[in-house]
Amino acid sequence: MEFAFNEEQEELREMVREFVEKEITPFAAEMDRNNAPMPDLFKKAGDMGLLNVIVPEEYGGPGLDSVTVAMIYEELGKGCAGIATSIAANSLASYPVLLKGTEEQKKTLCDLLNNGGLAAFALTEPGAGSDAGGVATKAVKDGDHYILNGNKIFITNGGLADTYLVFANTRKSGGIRGLTAFVVPRNTPGFSVGKKEDKMGIRPSNTCELILQDVVVPESARVGREGEGFRIAMNTLDSARPFVASVSVGLAQSALDIAAKYAKERRQFGQPIASFQMVQAMIADMAMKVETARLLVYKACWLRDQGKEFAKEAAMSKCYAGDVAMQVTIDAVQVMGGYGYSKEYPVEKKMRDAKIMQIYEGTNQIQRLVIANKILY
Ligand SMILES: Cc1cc2nc3c(=O)[nH]c(=O)nc-3n(C[C@H](O)[C@H](O)[C@H](O)COP(=O)(O)OP(=O)(O)OC[C@H]3O[C@@H](n4cnc5c(N)ncnc54)[C@H](O)[C@@H]3O)c2cc1C
């Protein structure tokens, strides 16, 4: 069993680390205040090759394996979990097409991502969060095209994406058996972007409502068969969960690093607070949690790369790393006392950012259901 990255991966990690330290970390607080990314950040990320990491070589991308992708997202998560979320959403939105799309769909989407485009995965609706079967957006077949009507909410990259993977229901009666996936380019008539969310955390990540009003798409925009959308969405989420988890690991590691450095510098009672055993215990517990979360993430990715069953470990990694990110960022604030609570230091933002890791791409309650189902049935 090999626990080290190879030379090529280490070089790539160093490049991403430099990018994060130059283009993301110094602007994280400003982006948090502005509720938006720096204007040229995604252009730079695209130039660095960070927006098409899962595009296979045969479609002009780097075709990176899951372990390497997680390694990249962990580094991005250290700088800003919001930016990491937006970048990772490109992978989330691509899986449906890579899994079940036609050659034409794959080529078109991969070309877009290879050229620095952004994509969005649009499943959630006002009445359909954990329960995807509640999707009320309708897709009505009319000759050789479909007419889509409905609303999506909380869509990452919603206001910035060039193309959208939209889940709609092709059955009048609704339910998961009618769920069907469609590719909807942004400029399609009837498609518009609604309200932008004003969020607690990951504020640099764009999260918007989408409105579909008599949106006409050709039959060739359908991904997979009618009614295959639920399976496509679940397979996509399985593949993407370790990536969310890797962002959590990066986020938690960066909070730990900041807290440990602070503990060595801050003096109380005539000595560094790092010399107090209760502070040391917090630092040790944080480090253990980050390391165990990391091991779960890379195990899930490794299983996927080996072509083995990985859904249980994917859910475990997402759930555990999300809980760890929350706890470790809370403890980082605690180690830093009042300064941790102040916006002068970056850990309060990390604590706000961490909360979403337990909510999106399936809440941690839903992950626990997935894990229990895999064990019990
Ligand atoms: C910042 C952000 C970005 C997002 N990005 C995207 C995106 O890009 N694309 C997209 O499609 N969606 C996205 N989402 C939506 C996200 O995936 C959902 O918010 C999430 O799945 C939970 O759905 P909900 O908010 O409707 O909560 P609900 O489903 O209403 O859940 C509320 C509470 O009930 C619990 N609960 C629900 N059902 C059960 C159950 N069966 N057993 C036990 N507990 C249960 C939940 O765990 C939760 O605690 C995003 C959300 C946010 C906030």
| Radius of gyration of the chain from its Cα atoms, rounded to whole angstroms | 21
- Asked if residue 151 lies in contact with residue 209, where contact means CB atoms within 8 angstroms, the answer is yes
Query: Does residue 300 surpass a pLDDT of 90?
Result: yes
- pLDDT for 266-279, tens place per residue? 999 999 999 999 99
Q: Which residues pair with 142 in a beta bridge?
A: 145
Q: 177 by DSSP, 3-state: which?
A: helix
Ligand 1 atom closest to 364 (CA) = 47
CB atoms within 10 A of CB 261: 11
Ligand 1 atom closest to 89 (CA) = 8
Q: Which residues pair with 49 in a beta bridge?
A: none
Q: Is 164 in the pocket of ligand 1 (CB under 6 A)?
A: no
Domains and CATH numbers, the chain: 7-118 (1.10.540.10), 120-226 (2.40.110.10), 230-376 (1.20.140.10)
Query: Does residue 2 surpass a pLDDT of 90?
Result: no
Among residues of the chain, what percentage have pLDDT more than 70? 100
361 is catalytic: yes
Instruction: Please name the residues in contact with 360: beta carbons below 8 A apart, sequence gap of 6 or more.
Output: 85, 154, 156, 244
Q: Which of 23, 74, 75, 361 is catalytic?
A: 361
CA dist 64 and 48 (Å) reads: 14
Cβ neighbourhood burial of 297 (10 Å; 0-12, 13-18, 19+): buried
Q: Is 135 in the pocket of ligand 1 (CB under 6 A)?
A: no
What is the dihedral sign for C-alpha 49, 71, 352, 134?
positive
Q: According to the model, what pLDDT value does residue 1 have?
A: 80
Question: Which residue type sits at 273?
Answer: I
Per-residue pLDDT band at 309 (split at 50, 70, 90): very high
- pLDDT for 235-253, tens place per residue? 999 999 999 999 999 999 9
Structure token digits, residue 131: 């329960």
Beta strands 207-218 and 271-272 are unpaired
